[in-house]
Chain A
């Protein structure tokens, strides 16, 4: 037995680029897949959700106005920093999800590659989804995709890192900002991802990650007047209709998600990018 006692870490939320404790002062125990205590995680409250939405809204003008080139660089930087902490993520994913190191390794690698994939989309999505409209008249008319705003995300409960990346990266790639509730039972990779985001040139407030329970925090996100879209992936299927009804009061965009968590290792496509985009059509007369 070694004489050295390891430095135990206190886990916190990630809001507005900072790492606050929950306003509620609550924590909850996190265990590995076999029930062994790993850490206490911050147990986010309604007030934390509201603070996170405020931070996300504040960050939106800057992030949405950043050049697509810049956003691509930042997303790629996330992949770089993630790669640097690959071993830590493998250990945490392995402990959280109860996977052999080999399997956890392939999931972490896929998560890193997913950031790279989305990084490359930032400056292409407008030319793929936008259009010059050949209207029947003397007008120049074009349509460009624009970010929808603040997106509330209930992250997948099972896939602690790859699933989280797959729900968060497309939001950031399109220029929206996010408030994420991580997997409740497997939050450690999300907390470590917060640290990666904080050191990857992602402006504070662009991504906010709360550890806590989707069943408790979901309704506050769904009913919040300043949240523009909701991804209910991590909500229990029974809770989703209620969340969707709440979301309807402010005409939120609500993602249609499959009943069971999808296979996140499947090749990504444009679906999630498209969901967070509005189309803006601009008209101007032609003449001399």
Chain B
């Protein structure tokens, strides 16, 4: 079979309008934060991209005060007017989408084709969708005239920096809340460009405040006495700590935490589509996806065939420069995350799983990890139980649908699951049995603002998106 080589097709990084210095956004203005500035790096090259001013505890206080002050007028603004601000933001994101996509890929390491075709358009779609709710909350199913909560403290992860911001800010603003948001320490840049977009949309000062910083700033947001709601997306470990911290306070809490999704392939599945789905399920965004299909459950009768096809397909994935339009798998977001992935992969070796790593070329600078597939995985192994959050797939087998369900549900997590079979009645039966907030059948990793997303059990509580998602920001 001929092997096709691709010429480099890099996107211009000039489009990112990268600045040397970024600042926290408080009360409608970019201000010097009194925290220690951080340097954000390009994980694909390890070069410093920009210096970012961070917030201190006192800046959190200033931002919360600004948000509280803005809340009184923002929450009373007629929904129709609030809606127009959200529509403006949606349009501004669309207009600046290429800039945002390039900046996101630089700062996060994700392939440009994903930031361009998935992250940024979906972020805009969230504002567009929620804009329409702002003046229709009476119809949301929570009774007439539901009230906002007040000031929302929001803490988001580094895997989808702008998209997670949109998931958090769009429903909060639509329902009349004001926000203090902390982007992840390693990926603050697009959030600060979003702050510019708020200025361009002439959003009233204080409605959105963005405070870069590390975990301590997140903790002081969670702790703050004048915040009414905490929304967190991130690891289960930190989520538990936040739930403990909020315990006994009147703060409303929603958590979107980790996952260890089962992607279940039956012998009658459309195999070529399933292989694409498996690849998309685990290698999308370098596997930095809480709902990634990280546990592949294959019916025993086709396990060898699936593994063979899978290894061939995975070996064609191109790992490298995130800004290259042909790149399939970009950079691991940080050295720390790379070390965590390596540690878990070593545990897989030590526990006797059979490792296969794609022979693809990997850049020698930056944080990269070649796509890896473990076969002969048992349920007790760490690679079958713990979230790896990287391009590593664990393959297990099953014989009957009941066994597939039992294995799939054998986890404290419950965020997502996948089913591959041509038999409709089996899909619906399986979808019923799986304890997961999102079930993808004959597809994987689909997201839409109209479709609620969130987890069962230790994958968190609350939903984002759809009518269900509004509840998180309403006093109901």
Among B248, B412, B437, B457, the residue within 8 A (CB) of A281 is B437
CA–CA, A194 and B203, complex, Å:
57
Q: Say yes or no: A251 contacts B431, CB within 8 Å.
A: no
Q: Is B423 an interface residue (CB 8 A)?
A: no
Q: Say yes or no: A133 contacts B448, CB within 8 Å.
A: yes
Q: Using Cβ atoms and an 8 Å threshold, which residues of chain B touch A244? A: 243-244, 246-248
Q: Using Cβ atoms and an 8 Å threshold, which residues of chain A touch B412? A: 250
Q: Say yes or no: A281 contacts B453, CB within 8 Å.
A: yes
Q: Is A24 an interface residue (CB 8 A)?
A: no
CB-CB contacts below 8 Å: B445-470 with A: 446, 448, 450-454, 456-461, 463, 466-468
Residue interface mask B153-179, A partner, CB < 8 A = 1: 000000000000000000000000000
CB-CB contacts below 8 Å: B168-214 with A: none
Q: Is A283 an interface residue (CB 8 A)?
A: yes
Q: Using Cβ atoms and an 8 Å threshold, which residues of chain B touch A253? A: 461
CA–CA, A133 and B129, complex, Å:
12
CB-CB contacts below 8 Å: B264-323 with A: none
Among B141, B247, B432, the residue within 8 A (CB) of A129 is B141
Q: Is B439 an interface residue (CB 8 A)?
A: yes
Q: Using Cβ atoms and an 8 Å threshold, which residues of chain B touch A280? A: 431, 436-439
Q: Mark the stretch among A45-53, A116-124, A135-143, A153-161 that contacts chain B.
A: A135-143
Task: Give the distance to chain B from A215, nearest Cβ to Cβ, in Å.
Answer: 16
**Nearest B-chain residue to A135, judged by Cβ:** B448
Task: Give the distance to chain A from B16, nearest Cβ to Cβ, in Å.
Answer: 27
Q: Is B252 an interface residue (CB 8 A)?
A: yes
Q: Say yes or no: B448 contacts A248, CB within 8 Å.
A: no
Residue interface mask A241-284, B partner, CB < 8 A = 1: 11011011111011010000000000001010010001111111
Q: Is A128 an interface residue (CB 8 A)?
A: yes
**Nearest B-chain residue to A148, judged by Cβ:** B456
Q: Using Cβ atoms and an 8 Å threshold, which residues of chain B touch A25? A: none
CA–CA, A131 and B141, complex, Å:
12
Among A129, A131, A240, the residue within 8 A (CB) of B248 is A240
Q: Which of B236, B466, B476 has the most CB of A within 10 A?
A: B466
Q: Using Cβ atoms and an 8 Å threshold, which residues of chain A touch B476? A: 271
Task: Give the distance to chain A from B51, nearest Cβ to Cβ, in Å.
Answer: 36
Task: Give the distance to chain A from B22, nearest Cβ to Cβ, in Å.
Answer: 32
Q: Say yes or no: A251 contacts B460, CB within 8 Å.
A: yes
Q: Say yes or no: B255 contacts A279, CB within 8 Å.
A: no
Q: Say yes or no: B451 contacts A250, CB within 8 Å.
A: no
Q: Say yes or no: B443 contacts A285, CB within 8 Å.
A: yes
CA–CA, A83 and B152, complex, Å:
47
Q: Say yes or no: B248 contacts A241, CB within 8 Å.
A: yes
**How many chain-A residues does the 8 Å CB contact rule pick out?**
39
CA–CA, A171 and B354, complex, Å:
45
**Nearest A-chain residue to B418, judged by Cβ:** A283
Q: Is A35 an interface residue (CB 8 A)?
A: no
Q: Using Cβ atoms and an 8 Å threshold, which residues of chain A touch B468? A: 129, 131, 143, 279
Task: Give the distance to chain B from A282, nearest Cβ to Cβ, in Å.
Answer: 5
CB-CB contacts below 8 Å: B408-458 with A: 412, 427, 431-432, 436-443, 446, 448, 450-454, 456-458
Q: Say yes or no: B442 contacts A281, CB within 8 Å.
A: no
Q: Say yes or no: B450 contacts A134, CB within 8 Å.
A: yes
Q: Using Cβ atoms and an 8 Å threshold, which residues of chain A touch B141? A: 128-129
Q: Is A228 an interface residue (CB 8 A)?
A: yes
Q: Is B21 an interface residue (CB 8 A)?
A: no
Q: Say yes or no: A143 contacts B452, CB within 8 Å.
A: yes
Q: Say yes or no: A136 contacts B446, CB within 8 Å.
A: no
Q: Say yes or no: A248 contacts B244, CB within 8 Å.
A: yes
Q: Say yes or no: B450 contacts A133, CB within 8 Å.
A: yes
CA–CA, A279 and B439, complex, Å:
11
Q: Using Cβ atoms and an 8 Å threshold, which residues of chain B touch A149? A: 457
Q: Say yes or no: B243 contacts A133, CB within 8 Å.
A: no
CA–CA, A280 and B431, complex, Å:
9
Q: Using Cβ atoms and an 8 Å threshold, which residues of chain A touch B450? A: 133-136, 141
Q: Say yes or no: A241 contacts B461, CB within 8 Å.
A: no
Q: Say yes or no: A245 contacts B247, CB within 8 Å.
A: yes
Q: Using Cβ atoms and an 8 Å threshold, which residues of chain A touch B431? A: 280, 282
Task: Give the distance to chain B from A240, nearest Cβ to Cβ, in Å.
Answer: 6
Q: Say yes or no: A133 contacts B125, CB within 8 Å.
A: no
Task: Give the distance to chain A from B389, nearest Cβ to Cβ, in Å.
Answer: 18
Q: Say yes or no: A284 contacts B438, CB within 8 Å.
A: no
Q: Say yes or no: A279 contacts B448, CB within 8 Å.
A: no
Q: Which of A129, A136, A148, A278 has the most CB of B within 10 A?
A: A278
Q: Which of B252, B431, B459 has the most CB of A within 10 A?
A: B431
22 A-B pairs in the complex with CB atoms less than 8 angstroms apart: A131-B468, A141-B450, A143-B452, A148-B456, A228-B457, A244-B243, A244-B246, A248-B244, A249-B244, A251-B458, A269-B143, A279-B468, A280-B438, A280-B439, A281-B437, A281-B451, A281-B452, A281-B453, A283-B439, A283-B443, A283-B446, A284-B442
Other contacts beyond A131-B452, A139-B443, A254-B247: 7, CB < 8 A: A135-B448, A141-B451, A251-B239, A251-B457, A279-B466, A283-B451, A284-B427
Q: Report B's interface with A, CB cutoff 8 A.
A: 125, 141, 143, 236, 239-241, 243-244, 246-248, 250, 252, 255, 257, 412, 427, 431-432, 436-443, 446, 448, 450-454, 456-461, 463, 466-468, 471, 476
